A and B are shown apart, each in its own frame.
Chain A
Amino acid sequence: MSEAKNASGEIPEHLRIGVFICDCGSNIAGHLDCPAITEYASTLPGVVYAKENLYTCSEAGVLEIQKGIQEHNLNRVVVASCSPRTHQPLFQSSCAQADLNPYLFEMVNIRDQCSWVHMQEKENGTEKAKDLVRMGVAKAAFLEPQEDIEASLIRRVLVIGGGAAGLSAAQSLGGMGLEVVLVEKDALGGLLNRINRLAPHGEKASDRVSELVESVKAMPNVTLYSGARISSIDGYIGNFEITIDQGQGNQAQEKAGCIVVATGAVPLSPEGLYGYDKKTVITQMELESLFLEGNFHAEKVVMIQCAGARSSERPYCSRICCQTAVKNALWIKEQNPAASVHILYRDMQMYGTEKEQMLSDARGVGVRFHVYDPENPPVVDKGTVSFYESLTGEQEDISCDLVVLSTPLVAREDVADLSQLLRVPVDQNNFFLEAHAKLRPLDFATDGIFVCGSARYPATVEEACSQGIGVSSRIATILFKDKLIVSALVAEINPETCVGCQGCMDMCPYGAISYRPDLNICEVNTILCKGCGCCAATCPSQSASLKGFKPQQVLAQIRGL
């Protein structure tokens, strides 16, 4: 297709463009004059064939395109129909089947942009459709053939963190036959090691830990590094290179195709809150330790929810503390039915089936619940908790021998280090930020890196396990393929004109650009590049450009209008 590469920017001579106008049944033809658009398309420069189809996406329509390519020796195809989001892949693969490079295809959306929005204005809508077709044809003249970018894949996964989420991820990945490298900086099991019983059924946390740890240890395809830290990560999806610091100067090198962040979170230590002294005023986590050690002897317990959470300093709800409080209250009543337990709360976050049941069971065994007012919080003073009960409107004093503060899980202090190593973002509360809150909760925007468990947001053990298992299938969709194939429509930087200012590096949301100090230029990593074009728009020397959207192509389109 060398004829397309006309340096002067003029329309190349040997262009043979085919234009296919879709009726989409009555979706387009009902509101636009499709025969007139087709007739018009055939008069455009470079167009040798124009055809109207009832449904271009039907088998018959696709065959028409392929027949057109062969019979009229087309070297560019333009389809004017619906949204490229839904149909471009189909038309591109149809072109490829007829031996036309799929990147020589251009799509024009005359349904969403003409017939749907100008439903009552047939004439104007038709004129607009002609304009759009003219623009598409003008751009098509300057399209260049491209080859998809292929890269190899290392079928090995790095899991960072060996708590409930990380272990579940490793277990599932291993169960799918993938090799796993699990790095844990302390002991396997994470926070579970410090917990007495699990909600809702009171299973021993230690049993769950050993079950998980044993099953992961038994897998021949899982390599464990405990007491180790990640010191560097290079590379990109399919090909990460990792250095693991095993302590005492020992380092290990590993390679992985994907990475799972399962680093969890830590309970807030509520210094200065409610007279916290680790003796008479303790946290739920410290209460768990008392249970585990057999050192719990209190008979009058008051728990205060949202200690250090849902405040101006830490606005989020930590999701798991209410159920922890209820679980521990039930445990106390089970051990000693004569003990009194009061829970002071703002909203009891016992969402779902089993948790609400626990709340109701706790009420049944005599755990007392009181609403406090965050504007007028409880005061702890020498064995008495005083507060304004906002349901009854009365000031109450409860005497107690132990106050337990339900503190939130907070992000780890070293979260910034890992976030920098991986070049992935965190949110305003320093939890890792997923690609999409609803539709891609386990993915990062950066390909090949995933998140699960409390590193993302506080999660129960069950939720952390679900997410860990979920991450493994996200990874399987990448590593079960023969190779990594990404679109050729990526940025390129001309090394001849690049002055190494690195302006593009700051703009790139995917960390796809790196600076080569030896040559004083910037380079694009084509696997990481998503083709957003930020670099091309930023580059002061116009050295960066985006394939498929080069200035020549876009200007031809604009000038076509």
Chain B
Amino acid sequence: MLDVGRHPNIELMAYCEVEGLEGEAGDFRVSVRKKARYVDEAKCTGCGACTEKCPTVVPDAFNEGLGERRAIYSWFAQGIPSTHTIDPDHCRQLNGKKCGICAKTCQAEAINFEQKDTLVELNVGAVVVATGYEVFDPSRIPEYQYQQIPNVVTAIEFERLLSASGPTGGHLDRPSDLAVEAEIEALEKKAKKGQKMLDKFEQKYETPSAQFYEAFLKGAYDGDEDRKKWAQKYEAQLEITRPLEALKKKAEGFDAAKKLAFIQCVGSRDFRFYPFCSGYCCMHSIKEAIIAHEHEPQTTSTIFGMDIRAVGKGFEEYKIRGGNQSGVRYVRGRVAEIVEGENHNPVVVYEDTREQKVKSEAFDMVILATACAPNKGVAELASVLSIEINRFGFFQTDPARPMDCTRPGIFVCGCAHGPMDIPESVAQASGAASRAAQVLIGSELRKAS
């Protein structure tokens, strides 16, 4: 990323979308919508002072909504370019409310609420499509109860939980526990506010609220309106502190997730959704299981899959190492359903093919290895670029010319081409660059002759 950001021959146009393409290989005219960031890219230094001061808290999409960001943000730390962006859906100023704190904070004077989308015309010789994929939404599979059972998460959500720079600092807190902790935090905030009000009364009458309330109940202050108000406030405070104490007590028993289940082919190899194999998910689950074990050596994982497809260089060896050294167990089969058990523990119901028995087993957390789905915008982009899509929803190529799209001069690489892992994507990216260079060199030669 850094190398690309720093390369003298690369102009990065992030936060932009291609809207039109005309011409032919060697001479394309592309129109690109440069979306308004409301931040001047030339001035913004990425210092982050604006984000620190921004009062609007928004769920952080980069962290799969598991963390929070502000309305002015960078997509993730150390992202390239480091330019910040205002989220127009949430920014107070852009929604007609009074704010503008970021503009006051920014020493580089980079904030510009008047910025508009602009259309940029580019003249290029070749186009490389590297639009990737999106993660399948497992709530479409009713039997897995994603979003119904809190401790059923997707592989990418789990990735964020495992990340040292993620919302839990890499600690495997269960979402159900995180929800309770968030509730405690909210109640504590409320309680603090309520206590402030009580403090005023306590100072005024020089009596602790609890002591006063006991007397009040005995009718000591009948007819005293001010004290009646105090009593009401105290009652309201009890409504907050009682559940708060109960939750806190509950939270004392919380422990990190140590018994994990990974379910493969969620949305993949499934005729209801995507018939294809997503290729990388088996290794992704094994990697997540091994990292979870490295983080907390008591962690054990069970990976449920029809086939464990460890097909890359060193992958089979890695899989075996996971089994021997990292507490990973591989169970053949497709999980039938997940139900909620005690203490929000997901219970996995499956057939043990070795014993030919239906079994159920409770886990602290279940991770769904979701399919590599074609991007939603694929059809639109295909029509803009006049290229074809294959029967699986990815960009069409010919096995003899693996990076060439159906229109000359347009190439594809990575998961826009079909599900694949990192080494294969990187190799294809180099390949697409080569194919593009051949077009450019060819057209240079034609011009010269």
**Distance (Å) between the CB of A365 and the closest chain B CB?**
16
Q: Which chain A positions have C-beta within 8 A of B430? A: 442, 469-471, 473-474
Contact B313 A467, beta carbon cutoff 8 Å: no
Contact B403 A469, beta carbon cutoff 8 Å: yes
Contact A172 B438, beta carbon cutoff 8 Å: yes
Contact A176 B47, beta carbon cutoff 8 Å: no
Contact A473 B433, beta carbon cutoff 8 Å: yes
Contact A177 B441, beta carbon cutoff 8 Å: yes
Is residue B317 contacting chain A, with contact meaning CB distance below 8 A? yes
| Bound-complex Cα distance A393 to B420 (A) | 34
Is residue A418 contacting chain B, with contact meaning CB distance below 8 A? no
Which residue of chain A is the closest to B353 with respect to CB atoms? A391
Q: Which chain A positions have C-beta within 8 A of B418? A: 352-354
Contact A442 B356, beta carbon cutoff 8 Å: no
**Distance (Å) between the CB of A557 and the closest chain B CB?**
26
Is residue B434 contacting chain A, with contact meaning CB distance below 8 A? yes
Interface centre among A89, A356, A360, A476 (most CB of B within 10 A): A356
Is residue A437 contacting chain B, with contact meaning CB distance below 8 A? yes
Q: Contact flags (1/0) for A90-128 with B, using CB distance below 8 Å?
A: 100000000000000000000000000000000000000
Is residue B145 contacting chain A, with contact meaning CB distance below 8 A? no
Contact A352 B402, beta carbon cutoff 8 Å: no
Contact A457 B312, beta carbon cutoff 8 Å: yes
**Distance (Å) between the CB of A309 and the closest chain B CB?**
9
**Distance (Å) between the CB of B231 and the closest chain A CB?**
42
Known contacts A26-B52, A211-B400, A473-B431; is-contact A360 B275 (Cβ 8 Å): yes
Contact B312 A466, beta carbon cutoff 8 Å: no
Q: Which of B2, B314, B354, B431 contacts A437 (CB 8 A)?
A: B314
**Which of B59-67, B113-121, B302-310 binds A?**
B302-310
| Bound-complex Cα distance A337 to B216 (A) | 93
Which residue of chain B is the closest to A25 with respect to CB atoms? B47
Q: Which chain A positions have C-beta within 8 A of B26? A: none
Q: Which chain B positions have C-beta within 8 A of A350? A: 277, 307, 309
Contact B399 A317, beta carbon cutoff 8 Å: no
Q: Which chain B positions have C-beta within 8 A of A437? A: 313-314, 423
Q: Which chain B positions have C-beta within 8 A of A86? A: 2, 6
| Bound-complex Cα distance A253 to B150 (A) | 69
Known contacts A200-B399, A353-B390; is-contact A473 B437 (Cβ 8 Å): yes
Total interface residues on A, CB under 8 Å, equals 68
Q: Which chain B positions have C-beta within 8 A of A461? A: 399
Is residue B171 contacting chain A, with contact meaning CB distance below 8 A? no
Known contacts A350-B277, A352-B418, A393-B356; is-contact A55 B438 (Cβ 8 Å): no
Q: Which chain A positions have C-beta within 8 A of B400? A: 203, 208, 211, 465
Contact A371 B332, beta carbon cutoff 8 Å: yes
Contact B445 A351, beta carbon cutoff 8 Å: no
Q: Contact flags (1/0) for A501-523 with B, using CB distance below 8 Å?
A: 00000000000000000000000
Total interface residues on B, CB under 8 Å, equals 58
Is residue A382 contacting chain B, with contact meaning CB distance below 8 A? no
Contact B314 A467, beta carbon cutoff 8 Å: no
| Bound-complex Cα distance A90 to B390 (A) | 45
Which residue of chain B is the closest to A320 with respect to CB atoms? B311
Q: Tell me the total A-B contact number using a CB cutoff of 8 A.
A: 168
Contact A466 B47, beta carbon cutoff 8 Å: no
Interface centre among B269, B353, B399, B419 (most CB of A within 10 A): B399
Q: Which chain B positions have C-beta within 8 A of A90? A: 6
**Distance (Å) between the CB of B409 and the closest chain A CB?**
14
Which residue of chain B is the closest to A61 with respect to CB atoms? B45
Q: Which chain B positions have C-beta within 8 A of A472? A: 434
| Bound-complex Cα distance A203 to B399 (A) | 10
**Distance (Å) between the CB of A446 and the closest chain B CB?**
18
Known contacts A347-B308, A357-B276; is-contact A317 B431 (Cβ 8 Å): no
Is residue B336 contacting chain A, with contact meaning CB distance below 8 A? no
Contact B45 A319, beta carbon cutoff 8 Å: no
Contact B276 A353, beta carbon cutoff 8 Å: yes
Q: Which chain B positions have C-beta within 8 A of A497? A: none
Is residue B392 contacting chain A, with contact meaning CB distance below 8 A? yes
Would you list which residues of chain A between 386 and 410 have a CB under 8 Å from chain B?
390-393
Contact B399 A201, beta carbon cutoff 8 Å: yes
Q: Contact flags (1/0) for A456-469 with B, using CB distance below 8 Å?
A: 11000111011101
Contact A317 B316, beta carbon cutoff 8 Å: yes
Given contacts A319-B311, A353-B392, A393-B355, 16 further A-B contacts (CB under 8 A): A85-B2, A86-B2, A89-B6, A176-B434, A203-B399, A315-B317, A317-B311, A347-B307, A347-B309, A350-B307, A351-B419, A352-B419, A441-B424, A441-B427, A467-B431, A473-B430
Which B residues lie at the A interface, using CB under 8 A?
Answer: 2, 6, 45, 47-49, 52, 107-108, 269, 275-277, 279, 307-317, 320, 332, 353-356, 390, 392, 394, 399-400, 402-403, 418-420, 422-424, 426-431, 433-435, 437-438, 441-442, 445
State the 9 A-B residue pairs at the shortest beta-carbon distance, nearest first.
Answer: A25-B47, A470-B430, A473-B434, A347-B307, A470-B431, A469-B431, A457-B313, A353-B276, A441-B423
Q: 12 pairs across A/B with beta carbons < 8 Å? A: A26-B47, A172-B435, A203-B399, A347-B310, A350-B309, A352-B276, A352-B419, A355-B277, A427-B314, A456-B313, A470-B434, A473-B431
